[in-house]
Amino acid sequence: MALSGNIPSSVANYVIRGNENAADKVKGHLFVQVTADKKTCMVGEPILLTYKLCTQLKSLSTLVKSPSFNGCSVVDMPTEDFAHYGYETINGQLYNVFQLRKVQLYPLQAGDLAIEAAMVDNKLHFIKENYLLAQDGFRYNPELFVKDILESIDKGTAPKDAILTHQIAINSPAISITVKDYPAADRPADFTGATGQFNIAAALSQLKISTDEVGKLTVALTGKGNMMLLTPPDIQWPQGLEAFEPTVTERVSHTTTPISGTKFFEYRFSATKPGSYTIPAINLSWFDTQKRNYQTSHTPALTVNVTQGNGKQAAPVTGPEPEKEKFFNRLFANRWWVAGPVIGLILLGLIVWMRSETKKDKKAKALAAQERANATELPSPIVEPANPLDNAADLLHQGDSHLFYTQLSNDLKNYLTYKMQLPVFNKGTLAVALDKRGVSTETAIELSAVLEALEWQLYTPVSDATQMEALYHRSLSVVESIKYETKDR
């Protein structure tokens, strides 16, 4: 369809005729679209909202009012600026589409959740039809002529008598989400609102301390869901141990829906009298949004032996270790890695050996004896590779998930065998070696989770190709942490 004077339909939306009203011309050619990935959810279950500006007109647009999302915890997702746009066909017509905002909402209470409208202010520019028809250049090549004028608008050099400017604000449509409460039946007594899929692990930094020293218990909550709302787990400290408020750190990815990763709670504690103290199992209960029921996981009981000190008490440390925290913040704050769903239980092999100092000593002695016996069989020293997972990286985008997981598992185990100087890869001797080399509890727990996730992918009937990238980056992060923590040791 062409306008009078043979104005091509391809540029007709940029042209306003003398009898046209600018406000009427905007209708159908410029609007804000909002989409939600679900219209019904549970409390704490994420809703992914995307706001887009769809236009067929020449405009300068500004988001002037963004929804406040009352009653929700909000996680903003990365978006492109207005210099980047795509194309979408909507109701049979092609539009330029700009993403205004993309958020995850985690509702905090049941009921009807009304999503506020977003408002976009638009300064529209139309080319006057009578100006075009009077120009010789337009008669020879109308599409190129209109394009040149549109570019001159951007540069601020367009003739004033050629342009009609129209200002208008438009709103996104209102939408409503139905939020359901957690089921009352079978709700665990210790359930505090964790929603998603999670696991819990715990470890002591030392199994034996004196009355002069401060012990450290690290509890790790790993999985995907409303992680920003996870609170410190309830710990029944035995009489005689005094615990301080936990320090909370995160290794969390906000680029996935729901967000995923690990949240660490580090407790410092001390004892005034010698003895053997057992910290009971620590529970975590959550509502599983996939199985639609409650789940509970727990750690094993942990025992710490306290000996009599010399009376020179060390000052308790209640904050994070500055250099280590600085490193992890730098390492993970801007890293793109998608934490895969932790479906299996986190491997507890790194924790079980901690339960007995005697067992630890025996394992260490056995390892030393085995290393001496096999000393002649160890390979000649080699230069540590920059990326020990290179072979797996080569398979990452080739589509064979089982082959990739096999290679990644082999690369990681080979690196650990080399780095920890193990005769053969063994989880028990690995735990001892990690402790001897000064690898932190946080890194040991994350390594345990990665090894467990790899085993799950290798020994289930169908491996999950969607987790390949996430597991590769998690493995690489663990390798880099081990390199840093064992440097110069």
Q: Are 449 and 342 in contact (CB under 8 A)?
A: yes
Q: ω before 320 within 30° of 0 (cis)?
A: no
DSSP alpha helices (H): ranges in 271-400? 322-332, 349-352, 357-373, 390-395
Q: Is the pLDDT score of 346 beyond 60? A: no
- Among 17-31, 390-404, 416-430, the range with the most confident prediction by mean pLDDT is 17-31
Contacts of 219 by beta carbon, 8 Å cutoff, 6+ apart: 200, 201, 202, 232, 233, 235, 246, 264, 265, 266, 267, 282, 299
Q: Give residue 57's pLDDT.
A: 92
| Alpha carbons 482 and 420: distance in angstroms, whole number | 10
Which band of pLDDT confidence, cut at 50, 70 and 90, is reported for residue 360?
A: very low
Q: Is the pLDDT score of 468 beyond 70? A: yes
φ, ψ at 108 (rounded to 5°): -100, -10
Q: Helix (H, G, I), strand (E, B), or coil: what is residue 434?
A: helix
| Alpha carbons 335 and 331: distance in angstroms, whole number | 7
Q: Give residue 377's pLDDT.
A: 36
pLDDT, mean over the chain: 81
More confident: 139 or 21: 21
Q: Is the pLDDT score of 205 beyond 50? A: yes
Contacts of 225 by beta carbon, 8 Å cutoff, 6+ apart: 44, 46, 194, 195, 196, 197, 198, 258, 259, 260, 286, 289
Place of tokens 């869901």: 225
Q: What six digits make up the tokens of 40?
A: 């019904």
- pLDDT, average across residues 394-405: 83
Q: Give residue 488's pLDDT.
A: 59
CB atoms within 10 A of CB 269: 20
Single-letter residue type at 313: Q
End-to-end CA, the chain: 76
Q: Are 189 and 280 in contact (CB under 8 A)?
A: no
- pLDDT, average across residues 158-166: 92
| Alpha carbons 222 and 263: distance in angstroms, whole number | 6
| Strands in 172-238 per DSSP E | 175-180, 196-204, 208-210, 215-225
Which band of pLDDT confidence, cut at 50, 70 and 90, is reported for residue 81?
A: low
How confident is the model over 181-202, as pLDDT tens digits?
999 999 999 999 999 999 999 9
Q: Give residue 271's pLDDT.
A: 94
Q: Is the pLDDT score of 333 beyond 70? A: no
Q: What six digits make up the tokens of 77?
A: 């997702």
Q: Give residue 440's pLDDT.
A: 87
Judged on CB neighbours under 10 Å (0-12, 13-18, 19+), 356 is middle
Angle at 190 between CA 184 and CA 194, to 5 degrees: 75
Q: Is the dihedral of CA 424, 430, 433, 438 positive or negative?
A: positive
Single-letter residue type at 338: V
Give the range among 301-305, 348-352, 419-423 with minimum mean pLDDT: 348-352
Q: Give residue 448's pLDDT.
A: 84
Q: Are 35 and 97 in contact (CB under 8 A)?
A: no
Q: Give residue 313's pLDDT.
A: 56
Cα–Cα nearest to 170, from 23, 291, 38:
23
Judged on CB neighbours under 10 Å (0-12, 13-18, 19+), 349 is middle
How confident is the model over 304-321, as pLDDT tens digits?
999 998 876 555 444 444
- pLDDT, average across residues 227-237: 93
- pLDDT, average across residues 416-427: 84
127 strand-pairing partners? 15, 163
Q: Give residue 463's pLDDT.
A: 56
Cα–Cα nearest to 435, from 478, 480, 388, 485:
485
Contacts of 369 by beta carbon, 8 Å cutoff, 6+ apart: none
CB atoms within 10 A of CB 244: 15
- pLDDT, average across residues 409-427: 86
- Half-sphere CA count of 474, side-chain side, radius 13 A: 32
- pLDDT, average across residues 107-123: 93
- Half-sphere CA count of 153, side-chain side, radius 13 A: 21
Which band of pLDDT confidence, cut at 50, 70 and 90, is reported for residue 299?
A: very high
Strands 15-16 and 119-128: parallel
Q: Give residue 85's pLDDT.
A: 73
Hey, what's the torsion of the CAs at 223, 225, 231, 234, to 10 degrees? -50
Q: Give residue 84's pLDDT.
A: 57
pTM above the 0.75 mark?
no
279 strand-pairing partners? 302
| Alpha carbons 266 and 276: distance in angstroms, whole number | 21
How confident is the model over 25-47, as pLDDT tens digits?
999 899 999 999 999 999 999 99
Q: Is the pLDDT score of 101 beyond 70? A: yes
Which band of pLDDT confidence, cut at 50, 70 and 90, is reported for residue 437?
A: confident
| Alpha carbons 64 and 373: distance in angstroms, whole number | 73
Cα–Cα nearest to 150, from 168, 140, 138:
138
Q: Are 82 and 46 in contact (CB under 8 A)?
A: no
Q: Give residue 486's pLDDT.
A: 84
Q: Give residue 485's pLDDT.
A: 85
Strands 59-65 and 119-128: antiparallel
Q: Is the pLDDT score of 233 beyond 90? A: yes
Q: Is the pLDDT score of 4 beyond 60? A: no
- pLDDT, average across residues 327-337: 37
Q: Give residue 80's pLDDT.
A: 60
- pLDDT, average across residues 142-156: 88
More confident: 281 or 396: 281
Place of tokens 């004077």: 5
Which band of pLDDT confidence, cut at 50, 70 and 90, is reported for residue 456?
A: confident
Contacts of 397 by beta carbon, 8 Å cutoff, 6+ apart: none
Q: Give residue 320's pLDDT.
A: 45
What whole-number percentage of the chain has pLDDT above 90? 45
